[in-house]
Structure 1
Amino acid sequence: MKAIRIGICALVTIAVLAHGAVEPWSEAVLEAGAAVLLLVWAWRSSIGSEYKIVWNPLLWPLFGLWGVAALQLAVGITVYPFLTRMELLKYSALLALFFLCVQSYRTREHWHGFVWFLLVLGFGVSLFAILQHFTFNGKLYWVRELHYGGIPFGPYVNRNHFAGLMELLIPPGLAILILRAERRDQLPLVTLFTLLPIGALFLSASRGGIMSFLAEMGLLAILIILRRREKKELAAAALVVILAAVLVSWLGIGRALERFASYKSLEVSESRRVEMLHGTWRIFLDHPIAGTGLGTLQEVFPLYETIYDGLVVNHSHNDYAEALAEIGVIGGLCGLAFLVLLFWTGWKTLTVDREATNLAYHAGALVACFGLLVHATVDFNFHIPSNALIFLLQAALATSLTPSSLPERRR
């Protein structure tokens, strides 16, 4: 299934570089790519007589969420069927890619390649983001006009979504460095591929992103203490933090904060965030069982808006509240089941063995998921297809039991 693995990584790269795959053309590329890979997998599986489907427990709630949205369309309880249909199509692509990831990444060698892909992607995007930051001419990639405004950083129109990407790409490198899970001669390269994204994250001056990263550091420290209890690893963590602080200072975080202060009028104010959260909660209270329909918040919210500032509210800047408003308690329970299974299965995976490489890969993936979940309380990163896709791939890694990490009795 090497072709499937290459295809998944290619789609991730395209989605990230295409501003997060938030435009119709890039969404279409992601959806078409997922469909093609699914057909390739089905064909390869049909000609392999001994092929067995691998089942990840996270597939249960993910299929449940798909079923809720499909039910909304089938019985006509969505307020805007077209938007729900488009959102369901996008979600179907993400679900298909998660399923394909589970089927095609089965060994530690497979995940090793995936982790290094994330490290290289994080380094490349961060390097571009820093260069664009210091040579910014008001255009994305120095050529594309920002017709609808925004505070861009890297390939993303919104710096907070770039920060969300970094939250997903930094933890694998941190875990490898702290646990020294690669060969000694590769650790300097891992250090470079980890520190530069940290510098880019702080340079983006995303408050939600920085706080989520600090939460990630805290969880990673807790996991290492609980599983390893070795002082030298905590010392390695402290060294990484010091090096990151030196890099951030050298890049000039103060100047970045001053620069972004001039964009304050473009950002959503705290009072506006509270008002949006309150309005979203009222939508949920009026449609508590099955919600208004997946992807329909922007159509329903004007009826609940109490402060109008001339801007259209596409998302509520809280993924949890928005999910409740759109898919109700039924969908919310599926989401809760996903979170419980993610951390429960992720923790069980960490307890299987203490081999440094397995622990680093699984801990890094689980911490990455945790960081984006924290950021979801103040933003809408899960509505950025590239970030949502990488989150699901990290969730697959966090909950996977590779042959090298299975208990002896199950080999």
Structure 2
Amino acid sequence: MLSALFSVRSGMTTSIYKPSAEQLSRETPTKKVRKATKQAGRPPAELVRTLASRFIIVMLCIAVVLSTLAYGTVHYWALALFQLGAVAIVILWAVDAWRSRTLRFSRSSLQLPVIGLILLGLFQLLPLRSTAGAAEALSSAPVSSLSLDPYSTRLVIVHLCALLIYFAAALAFIDSPKRLRLVARVVTIFGFLLAIFGVIQSFTSSGKIYWLKELPQSVPFGPFYNRHHFAAYMEMALALPLGLLFSGAIESDKRPLYIFAVGMMGIALIMTGSRGGMISLAAEIVFLIVVMGGRGKESESSGEEKGKRAGRARSALMRAGLALALVLAIIGGAVLFGGEDALSRFVGTVNSDDPTTGRAHFWAMTLNIIRAHPVLGTGLGSYGLAFTEYDTHNGLFRLEQAHNDFGAVLRRAR
């Protein structure tokens, strides 16, 4: 959902940046026509804001918050509430279309991967698997679908449909800078508060969620059962304000607040001890520096004046300095709050016998599954069942995920 904040209806892109008076004075003919139409009392359909569309924005913001607080939406009751929210959005979407006489939708190609996964899952449910000879040896009817676990595949399809609804609604209804700023602020503020909550909980009640629910078989952090999930959430949440800071879209008087929020989320991320989260954070900062530097080069090649080029160079240096200061502040804050143990897990793995802590075996078994099912995969959500057949160890570990997003996607889709 967070990636949808930068796209609007018809695949267009909007920006949080507020244009200057000089930029506003240069109106295109299309803008002048829209302005004249609005003054004549006939606003274009794309400018109509119904009450239902406002409720959809509220539902999107609520979903971002509640899906996180409900233990990361891993329980069936939380998934049911999440999917009921998607149904409510569909109803509000229909009401908006009826009131505005316009069905809002996005042509963004970002939706195609999710649609493709849904179609793949439906195809994997078809009874195309040969069960000759198996029916006589089993007391119950064998699975004839292409998916090894059709029940889990159905659940994944339902969940993907709900995610597609939320994502499509975000693309269609976050269609103005005002709405984009609203959702961006909700994500930033909630991420900041969640980081503070996670840090406080780790100090006062380590091993418990909300100071009540104890998890002896996992290492929780914040509302998540797994500390790596909290790190991944922080990495995505801080990307939004960090990108706004690097792009210069934040007013100067608000930049310290955004920097503080980013720093707090980064400190919470490092305190989880997630090596993947730390690496992702570093890669995120490097990516932003490279992207912003590339934008400066494009402007330079377009024939700008030397003074402006010097200004862009200073701006690039300031962004690089900001990135370095943020990294040092985050690491320093993590050590200050969590002590040397905050970084010991990351540094300690260099001399470890198995730096992947068992994941290398999981990945090797995932590759074996991909080789055995190279075309259509084993079925969405069926990894836990497929792993038992190819596991070469004693079966002590029971996995539900491949601990590798690329391997998981290839296993499902191939």
Question: What TM-score do the two structures reach when normalised by structure 2?
Answer: 0.73
2:361 aligns to what?
Answer: 275
| Structure 1 residues 48 and 227, CA gap change in structure 2 (3 angstroms) | same
Amino acid aligned to 1:183? E
Q: Distance in 1 between matches of 2:157 and 2:80?
A: 13
Q: What is the TM-score of this pair, normalised by structure 1?
A: 0.74
User: How far off is 1:137 after superposition?
Assistant: 4.8
Q: The residue matched to 2:402 in structure 1 has which SS?
A: coil
Q: Are 2:159 and 1:90 equivalent residues in the alignment?
A: yes
Structure 1 residues 290 and 186 mapped into 2: Cα distance closer, same or farther (>3 Å)?
same
Q: Is the 8 A contact 2:201 2:222 kept in 1?
A: yes
Question: Which AA in structure 1 matches 2:287?
Answer: L
Deviations 1:276-320 (A, max 9, x none): 111111111111111111000101111100113523111111122
CA distance in 1, matches of 2:325, 2:347: 31
Q: Distance in 2 between matches of 1:201 and 1:129?
A: 9
Q: Which amino acid aligns with 1:318?
A: N
Report the CA distance shift for 1:289/1:259 in structure 2 as closer, same or farther (over 3 A). closer
* Residue-pair matches, total: 322
Q: Distance in 2 between matches of 1:303 and 1:5?
A: 45
Structure-1 residue corresponding to 2:334: 248
Give the match for residue 172 of structure 2: 103
In the alignment, the residues of structure 2 paired with residue 194 and residue 322 of structure 1 have an alpha-carbon distance, to the nearest angstrom, of: 30
Q: Distance in 1 between matches of 2:327 and 2:181?
A: 24
Match of 1:190 in 2: 258
Name the CA distance, whole Å, in 2 between partners of 1:90 and 1:45. Answer: 25
Q: Deviation digits for residues 312-360 of structure 1, max 9, x if unmatched?
A: 11111112212222221xxxxxxxxxxxxxxxxxxxxxxxxxxxxxxxx
Task: Please state how far the C-alpha of 1:275 moved relative to its aligned partner.
Answer: 1.5
TM alignment of 1:204-353, pairs within 5 A: 204-228=272-296, 229=312, 230=315, 231-257=317-343, 270=356, 272-308=358-394, 310-328=396-414
- The residue type paired with residue 64 of structure 1 is G
User: Larger % of helix: which?
Assistant: 1
1-structure distance, mates of 2:400, 2:151: 16
The answer as to whether partners of 2:205 and 2:211 remain within 8 angstroms in 1 is yes
- Tell me what 1:134 maps to: 203
Task: Give the drift of 1:66.
Answer: 1.0
Q: Which runs of 5+ in 2 are unaligned?
A: 1-52, 128-144, 297-311, 349-353
Q: Deviations over 1:204-242 (max 9, x none)?
A: 111111011111111111011111343333333333333
Give the CA deviation at 1:43: 2.2
Say if 1:49 and 1:212 are closer, same or farther in 2 by CA, change over 3 A: same
Distance 1:270 1:255 in 2: 19
Contact 1:298 1:313 in 2 (8 A): yes
Tell me which amino acid in the other structure corresponds to 2:284: E
Shift of 1:17: 0.8
Q: Which of 17, 22, 27 is the matching residue for 2:79? A: 27
1:43 is aligned, of 95, 115, 128, to 95
Displacement of 1:52: 3.9
Q: Does 1:153 align with 2:221?
A: yes
1:16 CA displacement = 0.6
SS in 1 for 2:221: coil
2: CA distance, partners of 1:290 / 1:235: 48
Contact 1:276 1:316 in 2 (8 A): yes
Q: 1:77 to 1:8 in 2, by over 3 A?
A: same
Tell me if the contact between 1:203 and 1:253 (Cα under 8 Å) persists in the aligned partners: no
Match of 1:382 in 2: none
Structure 1 residue 107 displacement after superposition: 1.4
Moved more, 51-60 or 38-47: 51-60
1:121 deviates by 1.2
2:104 and 2:173 in contact (8 A); partners too: no
CA distance in 2, matches of 1:134, 1:80: 41
CA distance in 1, matches of 2:405, 2:246: 31
Residue identity matched to 1:213? L
**122 and 52 in structure 1: CA distance in 2 versus 1, 3 angstrom threshold:** closer
In structure 1, the partner of 2:107 is 55
The separation in 2 between residues aligned to 1:197 and 1:169, in whole angstroms, is 8
Per the TM alignment, residue 200 of structure 1 is displaced from its structure 2 partner at its CA by 0.5
1-structure distance, mates of 2:236, 2:209: 22
Off by >6 Å, runs of 4+ in structure 1: 259-262
1:176 positional shift: 2.6
Work out whether 1:176 is the aligned partner of 2:244: yes
Contact 1:19–1:155 (Cα < 8 Å) also in 2: yes
Q: Which has the greater radius of gyration? A: 2
User: Which secondary structure does the structure 2 equivalent of 1:8 belong to?
Assistant: helix
Q: Residue 202 of structure 1 contacts residue 253 of structure 1 at CA under 8 Å; is this kept in 2?
A: no
1:66 aligned onto 2:152: no
SS state of the match for residue 55, structure 1?
Answer: coil
**What is the rounded CA distance, in whole Å, between the counterparts of 1:65 and 1:116 in structure 2?**
31
With over 3 angstroms needed to count, the CA separation of the structure-2 counterparts of 1:98 and 1:23, relative to structure 1, is same
Contact 1:180 1:187 in 2 (8 A): no
Contact 1:279-1:304 within 8 A present in 2 as well: yes
Which stretches in structure 1 are left out of the alignment for 5+ residues? 263-267, 329-411
